[in-house]
Amino acid sequence: MQHLERYVTNVKAEKERIAELYRLMQKIEAEQAKQKLQFEDEQREKEELQRKMQNIEVKQAKQFEDYRKEREELQRQMQILLKVIEEKDKVLEEKDKDMRQLKDARAAAERMVSWGKPRVNIYLYTQHDR
């Protein structure tokens, strides 16, 4: 009889271990399902972030291209303005030269008058007259 009791006790213990293993398997399966869902969520989130990064990169590339074009246009306008300034500087230099020639001619004419000599018609050649 002891043998039978020990057998029954062993069977009960084995049943309990099997039940515990079954519960453990259920917990593992539940945890695996939970991790699978979490992994899928993370994958979707990763894909969404990649799409957003691509959109940002496209926008940045467009902005860079726009800024490059704007810079080129500003450089072109700056070259035009520099040419205009250069031309105006040349005109001012010519005007200054003309003014000096007029002052010199006037001074010469005043000297002639002050010496009592008759007036002489002085024709000034300016760059515009040439």
pLDDT digits (tens, 9 = 90+) for 24-57: 999 999 999 999 999 999 999 999 999 999 999 9
**Structure-block tokens of residue 30:** 């539940």
State the average pLDDT for the chain.
Answer: 89
Low-confidence ranges of the chain (pLDDT < 70): 115-130
Tally the residues of the chain: 130
d(CA 59, CA 125): 62
* Burial profile 6-37: b = 16 or more Cβ within 10 angstroms, e = fewer: eeeeeeeeeeeeeeeeeeeeeeeeeeeeeeee
**pTM of model > 0.75:** no
122: left (phi > 0), else alpha (psi -120 to 50), else beta? beta
Task: With beta carbons less than 8 A apart as the criterion, state whether 79 and 69 touch.
Answer: no
CA-closest candidate to residue 105, choices 125, 90, 87: 125
pLDDT at position 123 is 53
